[in-house]
A and B are shown apart, each in its own frame.
Chain A
């Protein structure tokens, strides 16, 4: 019975997450257009785009591309399921990293230099954000004594949200989110917007159905990251949802007011500011003692 329920929840997640992610992407475009005092497309525009891409002619540079795209989608769904079914957070982070890595391999397996440079920049992005995400998991472990999401949530129900013990980690996580959501200062491996100096970076050589699947993967990842924000407020999901919505809004503002940077700048700032904040928080937890 328990297993059946879990399978049901899993199926529901797989159906609802892309829809939610698409709606978020649509709202993103509407709000961005309003910021630029334009009318903007409808909220359902991302869905039309993806359906159209599915209907286009299929051509691939080589047969491996679609394989890597599918693997990337599968790992993203796997990571989301681990969050919803409250599994191990460390494992979740690794599965999520696999999703990105397989996209990188997919972009590397063609001969286009734009695609390759995009993939290399994506690797640099992983270098920038992965330490902070791992520190986030470590911080949660130091407080709750477990990597299991279920016990992290249970701890918060009993002792209040983790946010008050990990405020700096939370801030650096929001910082990292800008990279992961592919928002403006750090969107140099693949931008949301039509034009970029690298044609389209990572996705230059993907077209039609492959591009549609990459888009869906991106939506699922977005939902997952918003879910991770909610984890900081595990005792009350409504507060978590409100904070997640606010953070996404903040990202849209940042996207609109900032210009794209270069990768050395991103590495510098994410290692000094992002990693610094997270480490300070962890050291503070350690010095406070009593836990671990």
Chain B
């Protein structure tokens, strides 16, 4: 294991995105930072900036409105990155699955590496999920190295695979129906 691989294992910075969760999962995620669990002893920092993060932790089910934000955050994280879906909602949509505006689990929008089930999962389970994500990070670093010809300093043209973001402008260009009755002939 090279120095860079070891460093990536030793300092995973996480960014937490609340994707419409009921806050049950969020409180458990924050509980990991408290003195009882203290994930900072593993080098984990809960950062607020996707550009500094390594691991994206998402709680809650994605809906039509916030999928754009989620994709944006995912794209802003530099490689190597991993995504953890927290809770029943994050994994599959959970109790919100059937709602009219909910798209389902996180994996309907961005690629997910680790699923942490439970409603809500215990802090121990979340920490375990982060440890699993570290393994994923290592794999991704290897892939990056192959692309970057064994060079730890990646060439500048290396770009991560971007997730497509639905464009707002095309949505607004669609004709807006003023009729209240869809059956009514136009």
- Encode A8-43 as 1/0 by CB contact (under 8 A) with B: 000000000000000000000100010011111100
Whether A51 touches B154, Cβ cut-off 8 Å, given contacts A57-B144, A200-B48, A207-B52, is no
Query: For A211, what are the chain B residues with a Cβ–Cβ distance below 8 Å?
Result: 52
Chain B interface (Cβ < 8 Å from any Cβ of A): 3-8, 10-11, 13, 35, 38, 40-43, 45-49, 51-52, 54, 78-80, 141, 144, 152-154, 156, 158-160
Asked if B11 contacts A49 (CB within 8 A), the reply is: yes
Asked if B41 contacts A58 (CB within 8 A), the reply is: no
- A209 CB to nearest B CB, Å: 8
Asked if B4 contacts A59 (CB within 8 A), the reply is: no
Residue of A nearest to B41 (CB): A39
Whether A199 touches B38, Cβ cut-off 8 Å, given contacts A48-B11, A55-B4, A56-B80, is no
Residue of A nearest to B76 (CB): A207
Q: Which of A49, A54, A57, A199 contacts B43 (CB 8 A)?
A: A49
Question: Is A45 on the interface with B (CB-CB < 8 A)?
Answer: yes
Q: Give Cα distance in the complex from A196 to B40, angstroms.
A: 17
Most chain-B Cβ atoms within 10 A of its Cβ — which of A56, A196, A205?
A: A56
Asked if B45 contacts A194 (CB within 8 A), the reply is: yes
Query: For B5, what are the chain A residues with a Cβ–Cβ distance below 8 Å?
Result: 55
Task: Kindly count the residue-residue contacts between A and B in the assembled complex, taking CB atoms under 8 Å apart.
Answer: 96
Query: For A233, what are the chain B residues with a Cβ–Cβ distance below 8 Å?
Result: none
Asked if A52 contacts B8 (CB within 8 A), the reply is: yes
Query: For B41, what are the chain A residues with a Cβ–Cβ distance below 8 Å?
Result: 33, 38-41
Q: Which of B4, B38, B43, B156 contacts A45 (CB 8 A)?
A: B43
Asked if B10 contacts A57 (CB within 8 A), the reply is: no
Whether A41 touches B48, Cβ cut-off 8 Å, given contacts A36-B35, A207-B78, is no
A-B contact pairs, 19 of them (CB 8 A): A33-B38, A40-B41, A45-B10, A45-B11, A45-B43, A48-B11, A48-B43, A49-B11, A52-B7, A52-B8, A58-B158, A59-B78, A194-B47, A195-B47, A200-B48, A200-B49, A204-B49, A206-B51, A207-B51
- B73 CB to nearest A CB, Å: 12
Most chain-B Cβ atoms within 10 A of its Cβ — which of A38, A48, A58, A194?
A: A194
Q: Give Cα distance in the complex from A94 to B51, angstroms.
A: 32
Question: Is A160 on the interface with B (CB-CB < 8 A)?
Answer: no
Most chain-A Cβ atoms within 10 A of its Cβ — which of B46, B52, B144?
A: B52
- A34 CB to nearest B CB, Å: 10
Q: Give Cα distance in the complex from A167 to B156, angstroms.
A: 52
Asked if A40 contacts B47 (CB within 8 A), the reply is: no
Q: Give Cα distance in the complex from A122 to B10, angstroms.
A: 31
Asked if B154 contacts A57 (CB within 8 A), the reply is: yes
